């Protein structure tokens, strides 16, 4: 399976510390060596980096880990391809334009019985994850007004996510640049850092940071990840079926829906050769 990393903050913040920890899991401390990608929102624009190489040894990932790109919303993904091609087109996160802004999506899981509806948005690669994203975007475009509120978006997105989770494993991050939607089918964790800030140490590499020296008292920064990235902080572990909508580092809406437990999560293979694992 893959791993996810997301950030929501009330002030432009770099992701260097968390990104450094996650990249070690891409072929060094973890098996997620089949590509990686990261998207940073900057106003209405998105700065994206993708590489089908293991992120633990990727020169591009090393460059990004040292580049203090400031963003209020970011999404990162490292891939373990159980089925499907290892190439640039299949690296998350994926992006599409809707209503004059970019939407970015990353997924962890497999949906062997999923069939996307036809619509304007089509997948470029051959992962079920990108097909899922296009299905979400086609649903939004067909059923919501351009001026849809966050509440309307969540009211459409939550049952849609639940329907996906009925078919397989669906952990996801989705952002339109303002908010970040997170859904847990099997595994997700989060932490919100605010004053008084303190030190933190990564689990996967000997890197420590004193956030007090890097922040102001008004900063609020939330990190969402498949697995906690630090070993000396208290992370909040999502329940199965739990969802949260983040805005500027705070949870502005949340809830929990019933989803089944898929006991053979890492063994599921799509019966449709056109749709491959994330």
**Residues noted as catalytic:** 2
Q: What is the dihedral of CA 131, 271, 165, 176, to 10 degrees?
A: -10
The arrangement of strands across the sheet holding 45-51 comes to 45-51, 36-42, 71-78, 3-13, 220-225, 189-194, 236-237
Rounded to 5 degrees, φ, ψ at 160 are -65, -45
Q: DSSP of 173-211, one letter per residue?
A: EEE-SSEEEEE-SS--EEEEEESSP-EEEBSSSS-EEEG
178 by Cβ neighbours in 10 Å (0-12 / 13-18 / 19+) ranks as middle
Cα separation values, 137 from 11, 96, 155, 222, 242, Å: 28, 8, 14, 25, 21
- How many CB atoms neighbour CB 70 within 10 A? 13
Q: Pairing state of beta strands 171-175 and 179-183?
A: antiparallel
- DSSP-based three-state secondary structure for 242: strand
């Amino acid at each position: 399976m893959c791993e996810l990393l997301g950030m929501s903050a009330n002030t432009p913040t770099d992701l260097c510390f968390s990104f450094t920890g996650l990249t070690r899991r891409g072929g060094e401390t973890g098996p997620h060596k089949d590509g990686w990608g990261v998207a940073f929102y900057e106003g209405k624009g998105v700065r994206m980096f993708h590489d089908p190489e293991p992120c633990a040894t990727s020169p591009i990932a090393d460059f990004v880990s040292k580049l203090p790109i400031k963003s209020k919303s970011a999404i990162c993904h490292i891939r373990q391809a159980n089925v499907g091609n290892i190439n640039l087109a299949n690296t998350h996160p994926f992006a599409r334009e809707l209503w004059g802004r970019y939407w970015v999506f990353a997924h962890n899981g497999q949906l062997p019985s999923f069939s996307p509806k036809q619509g304007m948005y089509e997948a470029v690669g051959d992962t079920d994850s990108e097909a899922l994203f296009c299905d979400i975007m086609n649903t939004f475009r067909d059923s919501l007004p351009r001026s849809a509120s966050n509440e309307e978006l969540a009211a459409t997105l939550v049952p849609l996510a639940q329907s996906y989770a009925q078919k397989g494993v669906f952990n996801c991050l989705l952002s339109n640049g303002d908010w970040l939607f997170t859904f847990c089918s099997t595994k997700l964790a989060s932490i919100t850092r605010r004053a008084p800030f303190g030190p933190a140490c990564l689990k996967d590499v000997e890197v420590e940071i004193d956030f007090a020296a890097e922040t102001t008292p008004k900063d609020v920064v939330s990190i969402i990840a498949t697995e906690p990235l630090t070993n000396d902080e208290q992370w909040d572990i999502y329940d199965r079926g739990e969802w949260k909508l983040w805005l500027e580092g705070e949870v502005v809406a949340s809830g929990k829906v019933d989803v089944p437990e898929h006991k053979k999560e890492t063994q599921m293979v799509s019966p449709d050769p056109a749709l491959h694992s994330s």
